[in-house]
């Protein structure tokens, strides 16, 4: 069962010291921290441990996508770090999803295990370019149903997609929404972006917000304003 927090700040930093310094701007009672490929590559398990020692729940966003045995071992290793949540890529297929869950279940820590559906940077044209001929909506539903079938805890998807899939999925399914932007014009590389309050209204369980907070002049104030909007 999902238990806190509603918001994770994406720590897309390229060095450990920047991540540590910025974390001092945030309240661990208000948010968790998402550690993705960039920060984990330079900081490794040490930065995850440091953030946890300083009170933050960690979402390890490495989107494991490999042969089943490799993913199983990676999910077990990630779980043993004590992270609150981790993810795999649903396009890895049935055997990989089964192996991922086995890896998490083998651990004593039992973090939430979710799967990425279609990246929020992709649209129908992007899917067509890689050989997927149906729409983003159809692909997300197909992948989400398969994730639920294999007993994972939820999916990463745009809030705009939740209303189209929620009725077909378990009631306690977790919907993690990246691509959150605070005002029009902040779209950058996110093609399916949405505001925090609309995302919650659409059914998002957890928001992942990076640049609108990490590039703000007053990150704590921006975080506080977002918390008020989604409470």
Which residues form the catalytic set? 63
CB-CB neighbours of 184 under 10 Å: 8
- Write phi, then psi, for 229 (nearest 5 degrees): -70, -30
Q: Which of 54, 51, 102, 53 is nearest to 79 (CA)?
A: 102
Work out the angle between the directed axes of helices 68-80 and 94-106 (0-180°, nearest 10): 30
Contact 35, 86 (CB under 8 A): no
Instruction: Copy the structure tokens of residue 17.
Output: 């010291």
β 112-116/206-209 pair status: unpaired
Q: Which of 22, 27, 25, 223 is nearest to 35 (CA)?
A: 22
Contact 202, 208 (CB under 8 A): no
Is 187 buried (19+), middle (13-18) or exposed (0-12) by CB count in 10 A? Answer: exposed
Q: Give the distance, in angstroms, between the CA of residue 91 and the centroid of all CA atoms in the same chain.
A: 16
Contact 177, 210 (CB under 8 A): no
- Write phi, then psi, for 85 (nearest 5 degrees): -155, 145
- Write phi, then psi, for 221 (nearest 5 degrees): -70, -45
């Amino acid at each position: 069962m999902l238990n806190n927090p509603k918001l994770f700040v994406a720590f897309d930093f390229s060095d450990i010291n920047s991540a540590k310094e910025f974390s001092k701007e945030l309240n661990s009672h208000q948010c968790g921290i998402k550690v993705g490929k960039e920060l984990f590559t330079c900081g490794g398990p040490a930065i995850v441990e440091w953030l946890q020692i300083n009170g933050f729940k960690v979402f390890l966003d490495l989107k494991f996508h490999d042969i089943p045995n490799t993913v199983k071992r990676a999910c077990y290793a990630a779980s043993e770090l004590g992270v609150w949540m981790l993810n795999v890529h649903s396009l890895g297929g049935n055997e990989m999803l089964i192996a991922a869950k086995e890896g998490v279940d083998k651990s004593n820590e039992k973090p939430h295990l979710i799967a990425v559906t279609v990246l929020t940077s992709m649209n129908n044209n992007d899917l067509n370019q890689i050989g997927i001929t149906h729409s983003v909506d159809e692909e997300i539903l197909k992948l989400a149903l398969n994730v639920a079938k294999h007993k994972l805890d939820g999916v990463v998807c745009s809030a705009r997609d939740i209303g189209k899939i929620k009725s077909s999925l378990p009631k306690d399914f977790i919907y993690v929404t990246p691509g959150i932007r605070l005002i029009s014009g902040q779209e950058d590389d996110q093609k399916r972006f949405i505001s925090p309050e609309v995302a919650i209204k659409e059914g998002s369980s957890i928001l992942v917000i990076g640049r609108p907070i990490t590039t703000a002049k007053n990150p704590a104030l921006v975080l506080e304003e977002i918390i008020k909007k989604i409470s």
